[in-house]
Each structure stands twice: as structure tokens, then as C-alpha cells.
């Protein structure tokens, strides 16, 4: 069931009630971004009600000192956080010396609308001031996709009920704070403000990391559609600046301010002259004008939707959900800068600090791989490659040697910055997800040059880590991996997590296979990799092969399932049906000790591994494991439902797949976890795309062919999506009887649809009947 706050619409998120108690929720839902910066949907006018101010700039972070009760060797000293940056959205309105504030006015009507097709946020409301004057407000804003350091607001005020005086003050403020600061510290210092008579700018510098941000504005003022003749001055304090416009008004007059903003940082520009450059950028935007900037912005979004849209016919809730998720993914990461990555909350809130998690490779990576140009996914891989030296240093802190690398669970710059021991030290499966992303990229793109130039260095460092992290068990006469946490974070410090052991063994094999391939393909490049990594071919290969052949993988042979870890069957075997509704979610009602002792699973663990390596298992093996683990999963991670949906579709349980799809697609819109006020679940949104394309669409890359085995939920009339293979786009359209595949590229594409193998010629279309 959809949240009644939002109207059903295929392309828009619309709320028609002003609900102060859910204001933070809406600030997250209606947030905007463009890959370089983002903005929560804070009101432009003064608002003294509950709000979480949020302006975020990609690449800028603050090392917030770690809070920990017991310091352990190897702990990171800080948790990297994206600071709430200088605020640029503010427009203060005073009507006859009374400030417009929705927390104090009588709100007659209210409408907020996010147009996902065009990337535009609009708001319209009518209030009765304490004086009796009626103010009708319309506001439109966007963060430019074509000029990603620019944003613009068009804000109109119409006053009825008599004449008087109005004051409009667009302002900038560098005096900002983060709610999630560990020690209530301010993340900014050296704030200043300046102006040149036309434009204003505020400048601030992050403490410790010394990033400098300059936020500038230029404003124009109209009265009833023509330039206004009111009095305009620029005022400033040490940390803020405002353009003060005042004028007399008559009954029914409409004043409009257009605010052109530029946000520049030392992440992309030299510090010297940054303020002047920001003011220049704001001036150039003003010269272009609001309509021109908006038109260019819309065209940029049109290009993204051209190959990135998913169309669902017959189910508006499902359609709205998937477009909302695709929209937010494209707002968060554009792939143009390999220094950037994807935070779990993107630009929508402070939780998780804006840092990169393993979510990128395991969930978000396939979306960008299949919907964008190849360079976008390549840049995500280069992000990790550029951090390889720090991953080696991180492993060294934990006692590993010889070039072994442990990539961070949480990072902003390549250093580990997570401060929970069970994650920092134990959730080492993130190394496997990075290796899998390299494999996934190569099979989709055929970009073997990446493997030779970058990927193999990463794979060798990962394999060295796994070889040292394994230990030989004399009792089992096999290699084991002790003291880990798998994807199911409701288990800590377990031995032989099946998913982790499986990834470790697979990584070693994939590394050897890739090196042997390169040895045959180019001896020169192979020798270069061996030299750069100081690889002991005989000694290291022999050890890796021994581990591959002798890795212990826990299983319960009577049940025919893989065991999540040693001792899993010693737990009281219950299912979610045994839980009372008032005990959910467990993490808000049970002690951590009780959770750890229970059988209940936070998210896919064994099933995550089966999803990755599905081709290694027959259908009955997949079904036995699914039927055992899914009833024990409480889905209290945002990453959980999508993997279960994909496997449900694989097992022909389309009804269950659809239910799980809706949960992941509308997780934030319907606020399943009652935490959307903290920000959106950006990385899990990619799981929604996976649930359709790999779940219902059955898309796989197998033996250098694009394979589809589609099913369709009963609630849908049809659905269609576009994916790229070797950077060549294909459109797939599925209804209850047929599957149409259209080759939108200039290259022939090998296909398998319902086991029928064909080659689809450039520009051609083929139809396949459902068996």
C-alpha cells in the first residue's frame, strides 16, 4: 500500500498537505542533486519548525574523531563525514514587517511536487499572515545537471488584502552545523563573506582537512513580470551575506526573485581566487537567465532517461517507485570523476557520513554498468584502484604483509574510517565484492585493457589478503576463515561464514585464471603485471591453488543446504512467523545479545552468495537454500529485499518476487523502516533496478551472450527496460505472452531468450514467445 501523503503519478512525487511532524521525511524525499552537490528540500523562507538543514558537496569531508568505549589496535582514528555545507537556498520574506514562517502562519493550502523527468522541485502554498494579508507563494528550484556547480531558484510572492511594504532577502550563510557531529564540533572555520556590489559570496574552510568552499549568488527582482524598481542593497556579516530588496506593494502585486547560485570547492579549483571565480560563475548563470539554464538542465535529464528509464504498464505504484529510485541514483553519481563514489544516503542526509561502503560494488555497480556509458562503471573501479596503496596500508595495520590489501568497509579517501570492531576488523567480505565487480565489469564490457592495466593489481592484492587470512585446520584438514561477520550483521565473530569463504576461494581462482589469460594474450603486459606486483608465480600460485581445492565450506548434508556459518544449527530454529508484530524491528526491541543468539537474519547472506554465483548451482539447490533462509530473514537491512526478489523470480515464485520488489521500490516513499527523515537509502535503490532487470527480466551475461528468461507479475500489463552490453543498448519489452528485443546499436549482439540462441543484427527487432 502506498503512502497516502503522495499522490499516484508515474513521473512525479506530489504531496498536498503541510504536515510539520513529517517535515524531515519530506526534506529527504524531495531532495535534489547533480552528482557534484545535493540539497535537502529545506524551505527557502524562514522556518522555525523542526528541520534538518542539508547542503552537501561531493568530495568534501571532515574526519570526525572516533567515539569508542575501548580502543583497539588497528581502529581508525576518525569517521569521515560529509559536512553540512554553507546554505544557499534561503530567501527571507517580510510583509509589512511580519516574517513569512510556515510554523507561525495559517496555512490554507500547500503543494510540493518533484518532477523526476525534468529534475525540478516546485512548491506552491497560500498562507494567512497574522496581519490578515494573504500571501500566495510559488517556488521552483533545480541543481543543474548541465552546469553541476550551479543551481537556481525562482521564488514568487503574491500579496492580497491591501497594500503595504514587502522585503525580500536572498541570503547565504556559512554558519552551519552537523547534527551528527560526534563531539558537537563545528566542521567549518575561517568563514567570511564579501560582495562586489552585484554579487555576494560566503567562504568557509573545513577544519583539519582544509577544503575550501565558496558559495556565491546573484539575484534579480521583478514586479508583475517586469524589472522591479525597489531599493536593493547587499549586507553582510562575518559569516553571511544577503541582498536586501524592499518595495511598496499594491493589492494583488506579485514579486519574483530569481536566485542564481554557484558552489565551487578546492576539490575542483585552486584556493586562490576561489571566491571571485564563484561570483563570476553566478554572474554567468544570471546572464544566461533562469529559463535558459532550466532548458539546458532538462535536456541533460532527457539524455539520462533516454536509456535509463524502466516503463511499467498497469501498476502506478510500481512505476513511481522504480522511477524515484532511478532518479535518485542519477542525482547521486554521474560517473564523470573517478575520485567520487556513492554514499548510502547520497546527498539526502547526514547518516553514514556520506562515505563509501561495500554497497557500491555489490548493489549499485550493476546499475551504472548497464545504464550508462562504460566510463561510468570504469571510474567506480578506478576509485578503488587509486586507493590500492591505502588498502595495503590498512591491511598492514592489521598485521598482513607482502602487498596484501584490505579495502575499507567505510571510506572517503581510501582509509578505513568505521569504528565498530565487528565491521572494521571482521566484515572482510567487502574485498570479495570488489573482486566480483571487476569480473562483472569485464564480462559486460569486454574491456580487457582494464584488467591488464589496473584490475589484476587489485586482484593480486586481494588474493594475497585471502591467502593470509585463511588458516589451516588440522582437525578439518582444510583451510578455514575464523572470526568474521558476513552480510548478516545480526551475527558477529563467527567462524567459516559460507559467503565469505566462497568469495575468498572464488577470488583466488579468478585471479589465477585472469593471469593465465593475460599470459597467453600478451606476454609483455603479463610480465609488466608480474614485475609491478613482485608476484612469486610458483610460490603464490601453489598456495592459492591449495586453498582453492581445500577450502572448507560449511554445509548441512541432510537438509541439502549451505550453512551460514559453523554452529548455525545450534541455534533455536525459528522463523519470522514465530515473532510477535510488536517485537519488530528486532534492532529496536531486542538487546544486541538476544539478536546475536537468535537465528534471525538481517539480510541475504548465503543467498547473497547464491545470487553472485547462481550459475554454479542447480535450481533445486537454490530452492532448498532459499526455502530455508528466507523464512528466517527479517529484512531489516534496506539491501535485503532486492536479492530475495531476484531469487524468487528465478524460482518462478513471481508473486513473492513482486511483494519483495514493492518493498524495495517503495522503501523510502512508504517509509517502511520509519527512518526516511535521516535520508534516503540510495545504494539499496539500485537493488530495485536489479529486481526488475535481473529478477523479472532474468537478465544474465553467460558465455559472452546476453541471456533473458523473463517473467511478469500478475499486476503488470507489460514492462520494458534498456541495458547495455559492450556499451551497445538493447531494449527489452515483456508482456504476458511475448518478449520483444530491439537492438538500438550499430553492432550485432548475441542473445539467448528462453534458451533460444540468436544474433540480433544492428537496428533489428525480434519477438520471442513465452514457453
Q: Which residues pair with 255 in a beta bridge?
A: 157, 223
Q: Which residues pair with 561 in a beta bridge?
A: 556
Q: Is-contact 499 601, C-beta < 8 A?
A: no
Task: Give the long-range contacts of residues 133-136, CB within 8 A, separation 24 or more.
Answer: 133/95, 133/96, 133/98, 133/159, 133/160, 133/161, 133/162, 133/164, 134/108, 134/159, 134/160, 134/161, 135/93, 135/95, 135/100, 135/105, 135/159, 136/160
Q: Where are the alpha helices (DSSP H) in 182-289?
A: 274-288
> Strands, DSSP E only, in 300-438?
310-313
Burial category of 520 from C-beta neighbours within 10 Å (exposed 0-12, middle 13-18, buried 19 and up): exposed
Report the distance separating Cα 581 and Cα 588, nearest Å: 12
Q: Is-contact 201 194, C-beta < 8 A?
A: yes
Residue 197: phi, psi to the nearest 5?
Answer: 95, -25
Q: Is the dihedral of CA 472, 473, 478, 481 positive or negative?
A: negative
Report the distance separating Cα 285 and Cα 259, nearest Å: 10
Residue with cell 609483455: 524
Residue with cell 492580497: 160
Q: Is-contact 166 250, C-beta < 8 A?
A: no
| Cα 40 to Cα 55, 164, 322, 348, 680, distances in angstroms | 7, 33, 20, 6, 10
Q: Is-contact 718 732, C-beta < 8 A?
A: no
Side by side, the strands of the sheet bearing 32-33 are: 32-33, 37-39, 55-57
- Examine the residue annotation and report whether 489 is marked as an active-site residue of this protein: yes
Instruction: Give which of 395, 427, 394, 421 is closest to 409, Cα–Cα.
Output: 427
- Gap between the terminal Cα atoms of the chain: 32
Hey, what's the cell of 350?
A: 547526514
Catalytic residue selected from 416, 489, 675, 733: 489
Q: Strand, helix or coil at 630?
A: helix
Hey, what's the cell of 709?
A: 528468461
Residue 760: phi, psi to the nearest 5?
Answer: -95, 120
Hey, what's the cell of 200?
A: 555576494
DSSP-derived secondary structure for 751-771: EEETTEEEEEPTT-EEEEE--
80 contacts: CB under 8 Å, gap ≥ 6: 61, 62, 63, 64, 353, 354, 355, 410, 411, 412, 413, 415, 417
Instruction: Specify the DSSP element, H or E, that contains 685.
Output: helix 682-690
| Eight-state DSSP code of residue 513 | H
Hey, what's the cell of 621?
A: 539447490
Report the distance separating Cα 288 and Cα 260, nearest Å: 10
The residues carrying an active-site annotation are 489
Amino acid at each position: 500500500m502506498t503512502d497516502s501523503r503522495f499522490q499516484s503519478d508515474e513521473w512525479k512525487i506530489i504531496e498536498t498537505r503541510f504536515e510539520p511532524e513529517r517535515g524531515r521525511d519530506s526534506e529527504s524525499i524531495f531532495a535534489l542533486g547533480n552528482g557534484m552537490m545535493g540539497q535537502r528540500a529545506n524551505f527557502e523562507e524562514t522556518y522555525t519548525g523542526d528541520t534538518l538543514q542539508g547542503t552537501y558537496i561531493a568530495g568534501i569531508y571532515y574526519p570526525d574523531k572516533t567515539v569508542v568505549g575501548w580502543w583497539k589496535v588497528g581502529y581508525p582514528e576518525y569517521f569521515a563525514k560529509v559536512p553540512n555545507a554553507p546554505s544557499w537556498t534561503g530567501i527571507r520574506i517580510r510583509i509589512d514587517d511580519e516574517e513569512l514562517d510556515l510554523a507561525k502562519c495559517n496555512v490554507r493550502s500547500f503543494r510540493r511536487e518533484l518532477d523526476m523527468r525534468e529534475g525540478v522541485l516546485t512548491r506552491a502554498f497560500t498562507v494567512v499572515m497574522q496581519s490578515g494579508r494573504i500571501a500566495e507563494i510559488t517556488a521552483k528550484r533545480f541543481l543543474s545537471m548541465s552546469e553541476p556547480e550551479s543551481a537556481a531558484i525562482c521564488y514568487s510572492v503574491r500579496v492580497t488584502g491591501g497594500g503595504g511594504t514587502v522585503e525580500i532577502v536572498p541570503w547565504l550563510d556559512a554558519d552551519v552545523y552537523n547534527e551528527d557531529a560526534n563531539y558537537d564540533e563545528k566542521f567549518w572555520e575561517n568563514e567570511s563573506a564579501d560582495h562586489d556590489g552585484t554579487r555576494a559570496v560566503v567562504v568557509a574552510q573545513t577544519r583539519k582537512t582544509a577544503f575550501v568552499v565558496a558559495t556565491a549568488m546573484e539575484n534579480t527582482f521583478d514586479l508583475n513580470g517586469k524589472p522591479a524598481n525597489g531599493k536593493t542593497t547587499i549586507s553582510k556579516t562575518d559569516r553571511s551575506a544577503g541582498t536586501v530588496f524592499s518595495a511598496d506593494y499594491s493589492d494583488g502585486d506579485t514579486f519574483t526573485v530569481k536566485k542564481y547560485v554557484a558552489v565551487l570547492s578546492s576539490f575542483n579549483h585552486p584556493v586562490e581566487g576561489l571566491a571571485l571565480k564563484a561570483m563570476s560563475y553566478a554572474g554567468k548563470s544570471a546572464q544566461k537567465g533562469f529559463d535558459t539554464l532550466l532548458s539546458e538542465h532538462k535536456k541533460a535529464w532527457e539524455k539520462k532517461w533516454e536509456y535509463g528509464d524502466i516503463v511499467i504498464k498497469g501498476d502506478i505504484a510500481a512505476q513511481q517507485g522504480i522511477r524515484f529510485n532511478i532518479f535518485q541514483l542519477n542525482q547521486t553519481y554521474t560517473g564523470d570523476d573517478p575520485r567520487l563514489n556513492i554514499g548510502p544516503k547520497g546527498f539526502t542526509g547526514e547518516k553514514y557520513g556520506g562515505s563509501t561502503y561495500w554497497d557500491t560494488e555489490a548493489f549499485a555497480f550493476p546499475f551504472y554498468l548497464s545504464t550508462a556509458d562504460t566510463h561510468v562503471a570504469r571510474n567506480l573501479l578506478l576509485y578503488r584502484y587509486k586507493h590500492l596503496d591505502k588498502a595495503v596500508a590498512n591491511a598492514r595495520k592489521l598485521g598482513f604483509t607482502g602487498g596484501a590489501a584490505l579495502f575499507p568497509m567505510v571510506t572517503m579517501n581510501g582509509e578505513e574510517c568505521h569504528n565498530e570492531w565487528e565491521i572494521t576488523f571482521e566484515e572482510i567480505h567487502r574485498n570479495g565484492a570488489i573482486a566480483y565487480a571487476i569480473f562483472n565489469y569485464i564480462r559486460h564490457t569486454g574491456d580487457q585493457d582494464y584488467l591488464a592495466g589496473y584490475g589484476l593489481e587489485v586482484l593480486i592484492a586481494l588474493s594475497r589478503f585471502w591467502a593470509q587470512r585463511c588458516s589451516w585446520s588440522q582437525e578439518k584438514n582444510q583451510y578455514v576463515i575464523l572470526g568474521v561477520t558476513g552480510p548478516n550483521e545480526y551475527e558477529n565473530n563467527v567462524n567459516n561464514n559460507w559467503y565469505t569463504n566462497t568469495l575468498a576461494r572464488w577470488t583466488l581462482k579468478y585471479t589465477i585464471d585472469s593471469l593465465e589469460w593475460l599470459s597467453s594474450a600478451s606476454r609483455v603486459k603479463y610480465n609488466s603485471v608480474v614485475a609491478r606486483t613482485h608476484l612469486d608465480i610458483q610460490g603464490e600460485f601453489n598456495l592459492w591453488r591449495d586453498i582453492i581445492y581445500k577450502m572448507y565450506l560449511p554445509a548441512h548434508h541432510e537438509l541439502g543446504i549451505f550453512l551460514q556459518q559453523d554452529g548455525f544449527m545450534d541455534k533455536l530454529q525459528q522463523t519470522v512467523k514465530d515473532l510477535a508484530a510488536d517485537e519488530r524491528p528486532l534492532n529496536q526491541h531486542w538487546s544486541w545479545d538476544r539478536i546475536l543468539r537468535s537465528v534471525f537474519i538481517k539480510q541475504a547472506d548465503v543467498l547473497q552468495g547464491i545470487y553472485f554465483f547462481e550459475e554454479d548451482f542447480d535450481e533445486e539447490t537454490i530452492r532448498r537454500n532459499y526455502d530455508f533462509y528466507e523464512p528466517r530473514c527479517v529484512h531489516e537491512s534496506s539491501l535485503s529485499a532486492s536479492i530475495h526478489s531476484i531469487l524468487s523470480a528465478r524460482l518462478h515464485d513471481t508473486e513473492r518476487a513482486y511483494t519483495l520488489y514493492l518493498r524495495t521500490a517503495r522503501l523510502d516513499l512508504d517509509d517502511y523502516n520509519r527512518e526516511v527523515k535521516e535520508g534516503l537509502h540510495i545504494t539499496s535503490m539500485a537493488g530495485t533496478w536489479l529486481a526488475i532487470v535481473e529478477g523479472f527480466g532474468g537478465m544474465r551475461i553467460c558465455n559472452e551472450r546476453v541471456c533473458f528468461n523473463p517473467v511478469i507479475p500478475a499486476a503488470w500489463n507489460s514492462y520494458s527496460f534498456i541495458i547495455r552490453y559492450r556499451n551497445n543498448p538493447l531494449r527489452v519489452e515483456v508482456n504476458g505472452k511475448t518478449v520483444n528485443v530491439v537492438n538500438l546499436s550499430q553492432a550485432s549482439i548475441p542473445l539467448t531468450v528462453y534458451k533460444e540462441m540468436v544474433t540480433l543484427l544492428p537496428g533489428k527487432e525480434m519477438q520471442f514467445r513465452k514457453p
